[in-house]
Structure 1
Amino acid sequence: MDLVMGAMGNIAPKLLQLLRDEYKLQKGLKEKVQSVSDELVHVNALLRKVAEVSWDQLDEQVKIWLDQLREKSYEMEDILDTFLVRVEGPVPSDKKDGKLKCKLKKKMDSLFSLFSKAKARHDIAGAIEDIMKQLKEVDERRARYKLDDVVAKAAATSRIDPRLVAMNIEVNKLIGIEKSSGELSNMLSPVGNDSTGKIKIVSVVGVGGLGKTTLAQAVYDKLNPTFDCKAFVPVGRDRDVKIVLRYILIDLDEKYMDVKYNILDERKLIKELQNFLRSNRYFIVIDDVWSTETWNIIRTAFVENDSGSRVIVTTRKREVASMAEEVYYLQPLSDDDSKMLLYTRLYGGEDKCPLNHPAEASEKILKKCGGVPLAVITMASMLVGKSREDWYDMCKSFYGGNEGQQIHDTEWILSLSYYDLPLYLRTCLLYLSVYPEDYLIEKDPLIWKWIAEGLVEIKTGTSLFQRGEEYFNQLINSSLIQAVESSDGVIDSCRVHDMVLDLIRDLSKKLAHHNRPMKQTQEDDDMGTAKVRSLVVLGCKLDSWFLHPSFKLLRVLAIEECSRASAEDWQGLRHLGNLLHLRYLGLRETRISELPEEIGKLKFLQILDLERSGVRLLPSGVCQLTQLLCLRGNHFTKAPDGLLKKVTSLEELRLNIDNLDDESKRQFMKDLGNLSQVRVLSIYGELRGGGMALQSELVQSLDNLHKLQHLRLVDYNFDGEDDTCK
C-alpha cells in the first residue's frame, strides 16, 4: 500500500511462519528461507530510509527501482499466501452427507490433501529460489544507485493529547472567530424585534482550510435554539444530491431514518422536505457546496413561509456564493490571532510560551501559513516537542528553492506534515483516500481494515487492535484527520479535511499499479478484477451487482451502506468461497439477509463485520473460521451451534443466542471462557431463562476473561422488558 514499501513489510513474518515444523519444508529449504528473511531485513531498513524523502525529490532512477521492487514485493507475498492456503488442507465434509459417504469423502480428502500439500511444498521450493534471485538483483541495483546515502528520520507519539478536545473547542470557537461570528450573526438577524419575515440565505466564501465550516458551526450553535427545527449537512464534491436531501430530512426529524424513505427520488425528497418546512421556522446550514448545479437543486427545497427562516451555505466557489442574497467573505486570521492559535496548540496558551521559544523561526512559519487556521494547526502539530534546530530546518525547507515553493502554501505545509509522519502512519493515512469527501469514518471498522491489509505491525504485549488504536490516535494528534466525538464524549470516528484528502489521493495515484498478483489463466490476467486486493463499495445499489469469480486474491471486501430493492434471494456473494485470501468481510448497513455456507472455506478470514446488516442467522461454516479476531453482528444476528469450539482467537464478539436450545446455550457460555483474548463482548437473547446453570457457566467464563474491557448483556425476554447489563 505504501509508495515505497509495497508489501515488503508483510513478507518477512510470512517467511518466518514457513520455518515452523508443521509446514515440513524440503531438506535444505529452511536455510534458504532464513537467508531470504535476513536479506529482507536489510532491504526493509533501506526502504525506510528512502521513505523519509519526498517522492517528488527522489531521483528518477530511484523511482524506477522502487516501482520494480514494489511490484516484486506483491508477487512474493502472493506466492507465500498461495502456499499457505494450499497447505491448510480441505474444508471439512458437509454434515448433511450420510455417515458412509462422509467416511469415504474423508479418506478421499485425506489422500488429495497429502498429494496437494506435497506438490505445494515442491512449488514453494522453486518459488523461494526465484525470490532469492530477485533479491540479488535488488541488491545489485541498490549498489548501482547508491541508495545507502539517503538519510532517515522518524518520530511518533502513541496517545491522544488529553487536551486535544478542549483545545479544539477553544481554538475553533474562540481564537479569531469572535469578529466573524458576530458579523455573520448580524447578517442573519431580523430587523428590529420582529422574528417573522422572509427567508434569508447567506453564503460564506473563502479558500480551503480558512475555517468556513468552523464559523458556520459556531453561528449555528449560537442561533439554532430560537428556531423550530434545524439541520447541518455537509455536501462536498461529487456528493449525490439525493443523499444530501435525505440527510437534511434526518437532521430535521429522525422519523426520516426509516428505510421507506431510501427509495424516494430527488423530486419526491424535495417535495417531502418542502412539506415539512412549510409549517416550521427553520435554520439550515449546507456546508461545502462545490457547484452551482448542486446548489440550485438543494435551494428549491427551501420554501418561503414568512416565518423568518435562515439558511447558511459555505463554499470556496464565488459563483456559488453569489447565488445567495448576501455574501460573507471570510478573511484569514490576523497576525496576532495566528500567533495565539500557534501558541495555544503548542503550549496551551501564549502566556505559557517558554523563554527559549524560537521567535524568529516562529514568525517565518506564521508568515508561510498566511493566516489559514488549518495550516497553523497542522504546522503546530508537526513542531510540538521539536528542538530549536528543527524549527530553523523547517524554515529552510520553505526557502530552499525546492519544488514546494511552486505549490500552494497550505498544500505544501500539509505535504510536509505527511512526510513528517512515521512510515507506518503514512500508509494508514493513505488508506483513507478510499473514502468519499466529508465521509464519517468509524474508528473500529477502519482499524480492523488496517489489520486485514497488514498495515498494523505486531508489538509484543499489545493486541493488533490496540496497536491500531495507537495509530489512529497518532493521526489525530498530527491534525491530519479530524476527531469526531459520539454523544457520550468518546472519539469513535473521524473525518478527513478535503485538502488533506486531495493530498493523499494525489499520492495514492502513484500506487495505481501497486496490485500485482500472480497470473492465473490468461482470461483472468486480461481482466482488471484479477489484480484487485481490496474492494471497498460505499453507498451503491447492489441489485445487479455480483462478486466476480476472478477476485481470487482479494484481501478486503467491504460493502457498506449499500441498498437493494429486497434483502432476499440475492446471489451477489455466491462466489465468496473462492476468496481464499480474504481477511476482512464487511457488510455494514447493507441489505443482505444471508451468507453462503461456503464462507467456511475462508480459513484466513480475521474480521466478519455484519453490524446493521440484514443477516439474521450465521451459517455453520463460520464455525470453521479459526483465525477470526472480530465477529460483529446485530442484536438479532443468531449464532450457529458450536461456534466457539474452534473459534477461540476472538478479540470482539457480538451475537444473539436465542436460537440455541438450553444445552447449547450452556455450552456456549462455557466456551466463552476459552476466549482469552476477548476485549469486547456483547451477548443478546433470553439469558436468564436457562436458570442457574446457564448463569453459573457465564460467571465462571467471565472470571477467565482477563483482557475483557467492554461487556454488554441484553436480555429481551426477562419480565417482558429489555433488560441491559453493561
Structure 2
Amino acid sequence: MALVAGAMSSLVPKLWEIIKDEYGLQKGVRKEARSLAQELESAHAALRKVAEVPPDLLDEQVRVWARELREASYDMEDVLDAFLVRVDGGGGGEGDQEKEKGSFVRRLREKMASLLSKSKARRGIAGAIDDIKKQLREVAERRGRYTVGDIAVVKPASAPPIDPRLAALYNDAAKLVGIEDAMDELEVCDSIGSGVENNPDMNDMRKIAEDFIQHEKHGDNLFEIGERYFNELINRSMMEPALLDEEGMPQACRVHDIVLDLICSLSREENFVTIPDQVEQSTSWGISVKAHRLSLQKPTNTSTCSQVTTASMSQVRSFTVFSPAIKLPSLSCFQVLRVLDLEDFDLSEDGSLKLRHLGSLLHLRYLGLRGTSYSGELPAEIGQLQFLQTLDIQGTDIQELPSSTAKLTQLKCLCFDYNHRTRLRCSWLKQLTSLEELTTVRVDKDSAAELVEALVHLTHLRVLSIKIAAGHGELDETLSRALAESLGNLHEIRRLEITDFAGADLMKSPPPKLRKLAVSVVQMRSGGRAFSSLPPWLSPSSLPLLSSLHIAASRV
C-alpha cells in the first residue's frame, strides 16, 4: 500500500493527533485541521482503491494523479513532523545531573526559550495547514476531485501457491500469482540490496520506523504484525528462508531474482527508493529526482558519490549504506531522516567526526550501527532524538552509553553484543518504559538490584537477554531470588536468554507467554549455588506456548 499511498496512511492519524487540546491550537486552527484531516481521508480512500487495480489496467491519468498525491503526502508529513518535533521533542542532550549543575538563571532562560519556541510552532502550524490545502487543490485541479469511480477494479482469482522453481519459466514477473497482493509486505527493497535479508526482527523495526507497519486494531503489537507479514511472504514463496534457528524460525531469507527485479523496477518507477548507481547517467540525479529513500551500494563508477549532494539529502527519509567503500555524506545534510542504517560501514577511523551531527536528526526513529567497529562515544545530544525507537550498537566498541540515553522514552529496541563490554547503567534503564527488546545486559552483584527495580517498569518487554557476572561479581541467593521473581513478572516476554544464572529454580511462576527460554548455569568451585533438577514450573501446563528450551550447566 505504501508504494501507492506514500505517507498518507500515517499522515491522517498524525493530523488527528495534533487536533487534540493538549497541543494548544486555537479553535480556528483546529477547525481547519479537522477539515484537512477529512479531506485527506477521502484522498487516502481513493488511493487505496487505486492500489487494488492491476498496473496494466490502471488509467494513465489516474496513475499520474496518484503519483503526484503520493509525493505531496511526503511533504505534508514532513510539515506535521516538524511541528511535533518542535512541540514534543528537542529535549536537552545532557543528563539530568548535568542540568542540575547549571545556574538557576540559565535554566530559567532555557525554559523560557523552549516555551517561546513551542508558541511559535503552534502559530506556524496554521500556515502549514494552509500550504497543505493549497498542495491538495493543485493536485486535484489536474485530475478531478478524487473521482476514480470509473476505474474497473479487477481482483485476481485465488489460486494455489506457485512452485518457486517455476518462476524462471515466466517472461513477465508480474504474471506470478500473488506478486501484486504481496507488495504491501514487500517494502524492504531499500534494505535487501543483493536479495538476501538478514535479521528479520531488524527489518521489522525499520518498517515500524517508517510507519509501514501500523496498528490494525487497538491493542495490536507492531512486532507481531510484522512477523505475520514476514511469514505470509514465505508462505507465498515470495521469500525463501536461508538460515533457520533451533526453533525452525528463519533468521535470514533470500528473495528470488525475478521478485527482486520486480521490486527494484517498481521502486524506481514509483520513486519509492533511489539507488544512485542504477539511475541513468543522463539524469541529473541530485536535482531532478526527489529521493525519499536512498540506498548507497557499491558504486559502479567514480561519479556516483559526487551525485550525492546536500540538495538531494534534504528530503531523504531513509539512508542505507551497503558498501564500506562509499564515502559517508555529512549527517548535517539530512533534515527529515527517520532511518539511518550504517550496518557494516567502517567507522573505526574518524567515527566520532562522521557522527558529529547525530543529535540534529530530530526525526530519527532507527539508528543502526551494527558491525561498524565504532569505538568513540555517542554524542550526548543523542538525548534530543525524542522519537528514536531502535538503537543497535552490536559489533561496535562503544564503552558506555551517555546518560542522556535515559531521555529516549520512545525507545523500543536496544541491542548490544552478547560478549560486549558496553556498560549499561541500570539506574536509568527504568526510564525507558517503551522498551520491547533489550539485549544483552551485563549484570553483577553491584547492579543487580538496579536491574530488578528497572524490570518493574519495563512491562512491555518481549525479548530480554542477560549476562550474569561470574566469580567475584556473581549474585548471592538474595539477589538471585529477587531477579528470578522480577523475571517471572514480565507478562509480555516471549524470548528470555540468561547466562551464568543459578537462580532459575527460585522463580515462583514463569512468564505465561514465553516461547523461547535459554538458561546456562556455571557453578564456580569457590562456591555459588546451582540447581540439580529442572525447576517445578518448567512444565507444559505452566508454559503452553514454549517451543524452544535450552538449558546448559557446567562446573568450573
TM-score of the two chains, using structure 1 as the length reference: 0.59
- 1:618-677 C-alpha deviation (Å, 9 max, x unpaired): 22221110001111111223213533232101111113334x772x43122211121121
Equivalent pair of 2:448/2:483 in contact (CA under 8 Å)? no
| Counterpart for residue 548 of structure 1 | 331
Structure 2 distance, partners of 1:144, 1:37, is: 16
Structure 1 distance, partners of 2:389, 2:375, is: 21
Q: In the alignment, does 2:266 pair up with 1:507?
A: yes
Residue 503 of structure 1 deviates from its aligned partner by: 0.9
Equivalent pair of 1:529/1:551 in contact (CA under 8 Å)? yes
Q: Which runs of 5+ in 1 are unaligned?
A: 158-341, 347-368, 377-407, 518-523
Q: In the alignment, does 2:470 pair up with 1:677?
A: no
SS in 2 for 1:571: helix
Structure 1 pair 156/28, CA: closer, same or farther in 2 (3 Å)? farther
Structure 1 pair 102/58, CA: closer, same or farther in 2 (3 Å)? farther
Which moves more between the two structures, 41-50 or 439-448? 439-448
Matches for 1:329-344 after TM superposition, within 5 Å: none
Q: In the alignment, does 2:437 pair up with 1:437?
A: no
| Counterpart for residue 2 of structure 2 | 2
Equivalent pair of 1:583/1:607 in contact (CA under 8 Å)? yes
SS in 2 for 1:143: coil
- 1:283-332 C-alpha deviation (Å, 9 max, x unpaired): xxxxxxxxxxxxxxxxxxxxxxxxxxxxxxxxxxxxxxxxxxxxxxxxxx
| Counterpart for residue 243 of structure 1 | none
Which moves more between the two structures, 612-621 or 686-695? 686-695
Structure 2 distance, partners of 1:515, 1:17, is: 27
Equivalent pair of 1:91/1:600 in contact (CA under 8 Å)? yes
Structure 1 pair 48/634, CA: closer, same or farther in 2 (3 Å)? same
| Counterpart for residue 703 of structure 1 | 488
Residue 548 of structure 1 deviates from its aligned partner by: 3.1
Q: Which runs of 5+ in 2 are unaligned?
A: 272-288, 294-307, 502-520, 531-549
SS in 2 for 1:25: coil
Equivalent pair of 1:375/1:413 in contact (CA under 8 Å)? no
| Counterpart for residue 251 of structure 1 | none
Structure 1 pair 650/144, CA: closer, same or farther in 2 (3 Å)? closer
Equivalent pair of 1:89/1:113 in contact (CA under 8 Å)? no
- 1:320-354 C-alpha deviation (Å, 9 max, x unpaired): xxxxxxxxxxxxxxxxxxxxxx98x58xxxxxxxx
SS in 1 for 2:356: coil
Structure 1 distance, partners of 2:213, 2:350, is: 36
Residue 720 of structure 1 deviates from its aligned partner by: 5.1
| Counterpart for residue 273 of structure 1 | none
* 1:632 counterpart (415, 423, 428): 415
Structure 1 pair 563/446, CA: closer, same or farther in 2 (3 Å)? same
| Counterpart for residue 389 of structure 1 | none
Matches for 1:524-539 after TM superposition, within 5 Å: 527-539=311-323
Equivalent pair of 1:437/1:498 in contact (CA under 8 Å)? no
Which moves more between the two structures, 684-693 or 31-40? 684-693
- 1:406-440 C-alpha deviation (Å, 9 max, x unpaired): xx6352423x5322x1xxx5244142254232424
Matches for 1:591-670 after TM superposition, within 5 Å: 591-594=373-376, 595-635=378-418, 636=420, 637-658=422-443, 662=446, 664-670=447-453
Q: In the alignment, does 2:258 pair up with 1:474?
A: no
| Counterpart for residue 355 of structure 1 | none
| Counterpart for residue 193 of structure 1 | none
Structure 2 distance, partners of 1:90, 1:554, is: 15
Residue 711 of structure 1 deviates from its aligned partner by: 0.8
For 1:643, give the aligned amino acid. Answer: W
Structure 2 distance, partners of 1:457, 1:691, is: 44
Structure 1 distance, partners of 2:175, 2:99, is: 68
For 1:694, give the aligned amino acid. Answer: L
| Counterpart for residue 364 of structure 2 | 582
Residue 138 of structure 1 deviates from its aligned partner by: 4.6
Equivalent pair of 2:461/2:490 in contact (CA under 8 Å)? yes
| Counterpart for residue 183 of structure 2 | 426
Structure 1 distance, partners of 2:360, 2:199, is: 29
For 1:452, give the aligned amino acid. Answer: A
SS in 2 for 1:545: coil
Structure 1 distance, partners of 2:425, 2:103, is: 21
Equivalent pair of 1:634/1:654 in contact (CA under 8 Å)? yes
Structure 2 distance, partners of 1:639, 1:709, is: 22
SS in 1 for 2:433: coil
Equivalent pair of 1:482/1:494 in contact (CA under 8 Å)? yes
SS in 1 for 2:454: helix
SS in 2 for 1:711: strand
Structure 1 pair 707/81, CA: closer, same or farther in 2 (3 Å)? same
Equivalent pair of 1:546/1:573 in contact (CA under 8 Å)? no
Structure 1 pair 438/72, CA: closer, same or farther in 2 (3 Å)? closer
Larger radius of gyration: 1
Structure 1 pair 372/497, CA: closer, same or farther in 2 (3 Å)? closer
TM-score of the two chains, using structure 2 as the length reference: 0.76
| Counterpart for residue 125 of structure 2 | 124
| Counterpart for residue 411 of structure 1 | 173
Structure 2 distance, partners of 1:110, 1:556, is: 30
The percentage of aligned residue pairs carrying the same residue is 39
Structure 2 distance, partners of 1:4, 1:440, is: 23
Equivalent pair of 2:93/2:404 in contact (CA under 8 Å)? no
